[in-house]
Every structure is written in C-alpha cells, then in structure tokens.
Amino acid sequence: MVDGFLIIDKPAGCSSHDVVNRVRRILATKKVGHTGTLDPFATGVLPIAVGEGTKAIPFLDEGEKCYLATLQLGITTDTLDITGTVLREAVSSQVGEADLLRAMADLTGEIDQVPPMYSAIKQGGQPLYKLARKGIEVERAARRVIIRRFALLAFESPLARVEVSCSRGTYVRTLADDLGRLVGCGACLTELRRTMSGPFRLEQALTLEQLEAVVASHEIGQHLLQPLAMLEHLPRIALDGDQARLVRNGQVPYRCELPDLPEEGCCCLVAEGTLLAMACKRQGRLVLQRGFVTS
C-alpha cells in the first residue's frame, strides 16, 4: 500500500486534475488528491497525496509559495497569460529596467489583488472561469496578499524573467497584469514554474515519466514523504502504549498533557515516530479529528 505525499513536476498543457488521474493509473489506486492547484499552462511543484496522505491535506501549511515566471510587455489578454485572447497590444520599447524595478517595488509587501476572472474562485456557487467562458465578467472583491520577494532576474525587452515569493492565494498572472498596468504598456505571463509550495520543493519532484519508472522498479518508497514529516509546523503529543491503543480505537487518550494550543488549534498524536491521529483543542479538551491507519 502506498501512503504519503509525492511531489510531481507538473508538465504544461494539462490540469492538476489530469495529473491526479494519471497518478491514479500509475499507482493503480483511487485514493489520490492534490493540493495547491496549478494553471494548465504552468509547470512545477504539484504536491500529490496518496492513500492515508489525503487525510493530512487540510492540516498542511502551504502559506508560502515560490515561482519563476516570464512575462511579456506590450500584450494584455483576457486570461492574463499568453494562452488567452489578446485584448490590447502596445509599444513597450520605452519601458526600461529601471521602470520595471520601480513598479516591482510598488507591488512588493502587503498588497490588494483582484482575482482574475479565469480562476476557480466561486461566486454565487459557480467558478469564475465558467462565467468568463460565457463572456460574463462580474465584480470581484480585492484580497490582501503578501509579495515577499519580487526580483528581476533578466530583462531583454519585451521579455522579463522574474522570481516571486508570495503568500497562498496570490495570482502571479494578476501580478504580471498589474505590473504591465504600472509601466503603461500592459503585460501577460508567458511561462510560470512553481519551485516551492510550503514544505514541498522542486528538487524533490518527479516527472510523471519518472514516477512510472520508480513504480516499475519498486522504488516508490524512496520518494514518498510521510505525513508526519509534512506537519512539522504543528505541535506533537507523544503517546505511550496504552494511549496509542485508545487512539487507534478512535478514543481520546487519557492523561495527555495538552500543548499550548489556541482554541481549535491542531496537533499531531504520535507513537514511536508514527502519526496516529490529528486532534484539536475544543473548550479546553482534546478532540480527535482524523485518524490514520497504521500497520
């Protein structure tokens, strides 16, 4: 049985759901999910949960993400990337490196960002991208996001290569569009590659072809990340044998010393280095939230 997390280097041209379906076929298992959706044209880190790993998804901390991106000045599209319909074209030769750096500085730190119409955000119960495909545009509330790093790596007009470190919920496509607006000629993304999503790193990733190879050679275990290792941001309660047996039976362990948790705060219940369950503090007491099947 395969349980834990795999990091897939998502190829361009397929959706995150397509990757999940491919992993299901490769591993011959149905219990597969993903975190941190990537646009079809984007590549890079796509964390995939398998088996018992799917239970840990709600408790992950993917609050920081990093991207490498290329944007093209002088083009504005409806999707804010090169795959969309061109809405406007403008001369961009007057925009220099200094202009870009000033605009990027204005877009660094805490900023308000309006989500794009071509996004999975729901409004009135319907994803915005479905409305956009019908030619319907609706007003979207701005969201506060944090751009921790917005660095210019290379510039050869009209293309700029940038690195972005940002909070969860940031749309790099929107960042490119805002940058184009600030420099006066418009811009859209031509490439987007995610290099980090919380604890998941690109250097740990496998392509789908590599995943097929390691499964065929029975080396999948070398690439699986255990749920407990991905939850290091949460406190742990070490259980003795009797307490562990209670938890495996779905019961709250007795005599537990509750860590300093906020109300509804989560923690990991661990026995001999194995994650047995997730629990939370509720009205000053420990409440089991999700148990993990262990051998």
User: What is the average pLDDT across 232-248?
Assistant: 92
Which is it for strands 143-156 and 159-167: parallel, antiparallel or unpaired? antiparallel
Render pLDDT for 108-155 as a digit per residue (tens, 0 to 9): 999 999 988 888 788 877 888 888 888 888 888 899 999 999 999 999
- Separation between Cα atoms, residue 227 and residue 35, nearest integer Å: 13
Of residues 39, 81, 177, 178, which has the active-site annotation? 39
The pLDDT, as a whole number, for residue 1 is 66
Give the start-end residues of each E strand in 106-213: 109-113, 122-123, 126-127, 143-156, 159-167, 187-197, 200-201
CA dist list (Å): 18 to 25, 230, 253, 285: 11, 24, 41, 42
User: What is the average pLDDT across 193-199?
Assistant: 96
Q: What is the pTM of this model?
A: 0.92
- φ/ψ (deg, to 5) at 35: -125, 155
* Strand (E) or helix (H) holding 246: helix 241-248
User: What is the average pLDDT across 229-241?
Assistant: 92
**Domains of the chain, with CATH numbers?**
4-61+202-229 (3.30.2350.10), 64-197 (3.30.2350.10), 234-291 (2.30.130.10)
- The per-residue pLDDT of the chain, averaged, comes to 93
The pLDDT, as a whole number, for residue 139 is 83
Q: Which residue has better confidence, 287 or 152?
A: 152
Q: Is the pLDDT of residue 295 over 70?
A: no
Render pLDDT for 33-89 as a digit per residue (tens, 0 to 9): 999 889 999 999 999 999 999 999 999 998 899 999 999 999 999 999 999 999 999
The pLDDT, as a whole number, for residue 101 is 98
Contact assessment for residue 8 and residue 202, using Cβ atoms and an 8 Å cutoff: no
Annotated active-site residue 39? The verdict is yes
The pLDDT, as a whole number, for residue 135 is 83
Which is it for strands 122-123 and 86-89: parallel, antiparallel or unpaired? unpaired
Percent of the chain with pLDDT over 70: 99
Q: List the single range of 21-25, 149-153, 254-258, 259-263 with lowest mean pLDDT.
A: 254-258
User: What is the average pLDDT across 99-109?
Assistant: 98
Using DSSP, state whether 210 is helix, strand or coil. helix
